[in-house]
Amino acid sequence: MKVKTLLTSGLTSLYLFLTSCGGAMSKNATEFDWHATEAAPRHYPMEIIQGTFFYKDQDYGLYIPSGGTLHAGWGVMNSHHVTGPDKKPLPDRVDVVFYSYTEKQFYRGKFDLPYEKILSLFRQAYIDEPKKPYYDAIMIGIAPGGAVSVWLEGYRVTEVFFGQAEKIDVDPSNGFNLPFDSKAESDAYIQKQLVNVLDSEELESLKKNGVPFGTWARYRNVYKWIPVYAQGKVTTDERMPVNYLNGESYWEPTSFDEEKQNTPKPLPRELEFSVDMGDESILYIIKFEEFELMEAFEKLGANGEKVYIEFDAQTPRENMKIRLYNDKEPKEVIELKKFYVKP
């Protein structure tokens, strides 16, 4: 009787343990394993002074990594700070103070975040991939002009928020917690940070062209773009990794079905696929020149037209040709000149 009781008790405990663990990842879960991280665009260095993702309905939350000059790329994680309990509530607000080196300007943004959307996406990630969910971070992006994005980040990246921070007046000594004795001294410090992270070509471009304010909002414009392949040179891959201008990142089909063709999407920044070129399968990694691509789509797809991105694979890889055309009659065509194919 005692053995039977112990066995029954043990099985009951095991059942409760397993169901409680499973419940944490169920469709009703509200706490997840995630960390905070940050991003900023290449060419335009930024710095987070302080920031917090506030847990839902709480006056505290998870700090955003601060200090250091950010310039890894829009939607590209800069640091990986793991802190606090493994499972944490998700945020419904963010408060961030940051600095734009190319403007010599401090900003502050206090925003409500779409909690229900964030919760739904995290839950779905754990349902789809319980052993390795595709989100494990919440990332804030800061850009010149005060642009702020928030993404869920992991082996896919999904934008959940975009907003506009306000300019604030902060003495550089207080902002950077450094004892500057004069404006000349703080200006010298700021210039040194620019020189440390930008190469001579980037510095010259900044001096000549200035900061392209509004670019990060422009990245979010969506179009009905469709990849196609010239002369029967069809990709041998069923799916391809795509990094988008707005910072998102997904695996997409190499051939779009009708639903995908009719779904407006941000423009691609970089994608890759393989093509059978007879004796061998060649991998093409293509990086678009963002302004050339945006200007072309603003001409060809501004009124909801489908725009085809036609890839004409060549050997060597660098001889790849790309043209865009829409579904008007007669069709309008633009050949791209400034894209880059990794050799």
Q: 11 in helix, strand or coil?
A: helix
- The pair of three-digit structure tokens given for residue 72, joined into one six-digit string: 């890894």
**What tens-digit pLDDT sequence spans the chain (343 residues)?**
433 343 344 444 443 443 444 444 557 899 999 999 999 999 999 999 999 999 999 999 999 999 999 999 999 998 877 777 889 999 999 999 999 999 999 999 999 999 999 999 999 999 999 889 999 999 999 999 999 999 999 999 999 999 999 999 999 999 999 999 999 999 999 999 999 999 999 999 999 999 999 999 999 999 999 999 998 888 999 999 999 999 999 999 999 999 999 999 999 999 999 999 888 899 999 999 999 999 999 999 999 999 999 999 999 999 999 999 999 999 999 999 999 999 8
Phi (first) and psi of residue 20, to 5 degrees: -70, -40
pLDDT at 25: 58
Integer angstrom CA distances of residue 70 from 121, 277, 317: 27, 41, 32
- Cα–Cα distance for residue pair 272/313, rounded to 1 Å: 12
pTM of the entire structure?
A: 0.90
Q: At what angle do helices 183-197 and 200-209 cross, to 10 degrees?
A: 120
Q: What does 144-199 look like in DSSP terms, one character per residue?
A: GGGEEEEEEESSSEEEEEEEE-EEE---HHHHHT----SHHHHHHHHHHHHHHHS-
Alpha-carbon 331 to chain mean position = 33
pLDDT at 26: 58
pLDDT at 19: 40
Residue type, 58: Q
83, 63 Cβ separation under 8 angstroms:
yes
pLDDT at 236: 92
Bridge-partner residues for 73, per DSSP?
40
Residue type, 243: N
The DSSP call for residue 82 is -
Q: What does 226-280 look like in DSSP terms, one character per residue?
A: EEEEGGG--BS-SEEEEEETTS-EEEEESS--HHHHTS-EEPEEEEEEEEE-SSS
pLDDT at 233: 86
The DSSP call for residue 104 is T
Please choose, from the candidates 43, 51, 104, 52, the residue with its C-alpha nearest in 3D space to the C-alpha of residue 76.
43
pLDDT at 13: 44
- Cα–Cα distance for residue pair 181/54, rounded to 1 Å: 36
**Which residues in 56-89 are b (16+ Cβ under 10 Å) and which e?**
beeeebbebbbeebbbebbbbbbbeeeeeeeebb
Integer angstrom CA distances of residue 208 from 177, 205, 230, 295: 31, 5, 38, 20
